[in-house]
Amino acid sequence: MKRAVLSLLFLLAAGMVTPGSPAVAQDAPQVIQGPLRGYYTYGQLHSVTTEEAIRGAAVATTIPMGVYTVTSSRDDNVYQGVVVGRSPFFHGSRTTSIPTFIVPVKVKTSDGHAFDPSAADSSCLSSKVPLTVFQNSPLFDSAAFTMNGVGVGTTQYSDAFERAEFWQKVSVTGNRFHTMLAPITTLAEQTLTLSSGQGEDFSGVPCGNLAVINFSTLDSFVQNTIVPFVSGQGGGPTSFPIILLYNVVLADPYVSGTTDNCCILGYHNAFLNPVQTYGVMDFDTTEAFNQPGSTTADISVSSHEIDEWINDPLGNNATPAWGHIGQVSGCQNNFEVGDPLSGTLFPSVTLNSFTYHPQELAFFSWFYGAPSIGTGSSEFSNNDTFGSDAGPVCE
């Protein structure tokens, strides 16, 4: 499925999100008919230019960003983009740390059900608390990573991937090039209470229930409630807010009583000036999206979104068109490292007494063309699924 491109959402009418609504009786959940297809979307920088965003990074009013320029061997055109932190093409030794705020969001559907990342789940997570499992994951704690036979360091998964995809550029610094999520701050849980027609929960998935909610309702809540909340807790444009959902996915738009237009598992976005970036991601234990050749589990969604944010924080890094692979049935022309391998897992990582499942990701060179500057002899993803670049320009 080709991803819909998001634009900046405007304020919704008052009353769409009603955190103070009274409790309602619980109705029986809708039953899902047939398998579900999970996919990802993204937001493109809106109402501010890339040049203004880069100037903001230079004077530290937004997250640090480095600029790259590359001539693609796939179409011989020159492309420019930005990544979080220092550009790996500068060959410099630098660790960039981005203050990161985890905001767990409890979703209460209008039929009286709650999806709470801060509550222990005895049905699908062996009585563990999803938020705690997420906090203890290799997204934030360090683990030793080998990618395509090369040890890229003991670090966070997103940093290990970036080091791997730019290995020929950053390995000359030894172990001195990193882009880290640090410090990590977990804020108080926030609650989104849905009105009728904004979403509901569904049974019929392999484990537990799944909430399907309206995309614009959630994103308005993020921009108008969560982002100001994070700013008031010491965050703001120089930080990266992670909005954590538990077994909650999005439909754009939601059609009451159905899973039409479903299911968006996560997305990243950028808005305002100075630019505020953020990521929304589901921690999934339902197994509702496990199809032959495609698996979604625990941190697979968040690893997808965090690495896409690092490689394309503004959502507008152009590439030669590619497609007909992964979640993209048509053509796409941006540097979204998760999309070509959506549903393909990297080898599991056991850390803090839990086995995690990050997603495999496509290298920079897969998008812009051979030769690969990543780890391995001629690999274009971080677990050897891609042995060549994206090929001829997609049509």
**Tokens read off for 267:** 């997305």
Phi, psi of 223 (to 5 degrees): -70, -35
Domain presence at residue 349: yes
pLDDT value, residue 91: 74
Radius of gyration, CA atoms only, the chain: 20
d(CA 314, CA 293): 30
The count of C-alpha atoms lying within 13 angstroms of the C-alpha of 318, restricted to the half-sphere facing its C-beta, is 11
**Which amino acid, residue 14?**
A
For position 11, what pLDDT does the model report?
A: 31
**Structural domain contains residue 302:** yes
Query: What is the three-class DSSP state of 390?
Result: coil
What is the domain count for the chain? 1
Q: Is 392 part of any domain?
A: no
pLDDT of residue 21: 36
Structural domain includes residue 390: no
Write down the pLDDT at residue 391.
Answer: 98
| Residue-range definition of the domain harbouring residue 313 | 5-368
> Encoding tokens for residue 68?
């790259």
For residue 164, give the DSSP letter: H
* pLDDT value of position 292: 87
Neighbours of 271 (CB within 10 A): 22
Looking at residue 347, its pLDDT comes to: 98
The answer to whether residue 115 is domain-embedded is yes
**pLDDT attached to residue 214:** 97
Tell whether 30 is covered by a domain.
Answer: yes
**Rounded CA gap, 206 and 386, in Å?**
31
Greatest Cα pair distance, the chain, in angstroms, is 62
Could you report the average pLDDT of every consecutive run of 10 residues in the chain (395 residues)? 37 34 56 87 89 96 97 98 95 89 96 94 97 98 98 98 97 94 98 96 95 97 98 98 98 94 97 96 96 94 98 97 96 98 98 98 98 96 98 97
The DSSP-derived string for 3-40 is PPEE-PPPPPPTTSB-TTPPP-PPPPPEE--S----EE
In a domain, 374, yes or no: no
pLDDT at position 367: 98
Is residue 391 situated within a structural domain? no
Nearest to 43 by CA among 192, 264, 286: 264
3-state secondary structure of 317: coil
What DSSP state is assigned to residue 191? E
In this structure, which amino acid lies at residue 390? A
Residues in the chain: 395
Nearest alpha carbon to residue 211 among 190, 223, 194, 189: 194
End-to-end CA distance of the chain: 15
Please state the three-class secondary structure of 71-116 as a single string. ECCCCCCEEEEEEECCCHHHCCCEEEEEEEEEEEEEEECCCCCEEC
Cα 48 to the chain's mean position, in Å? 22
Nearest to 315, CA basis, from 375, 267, 252, 368 = 267
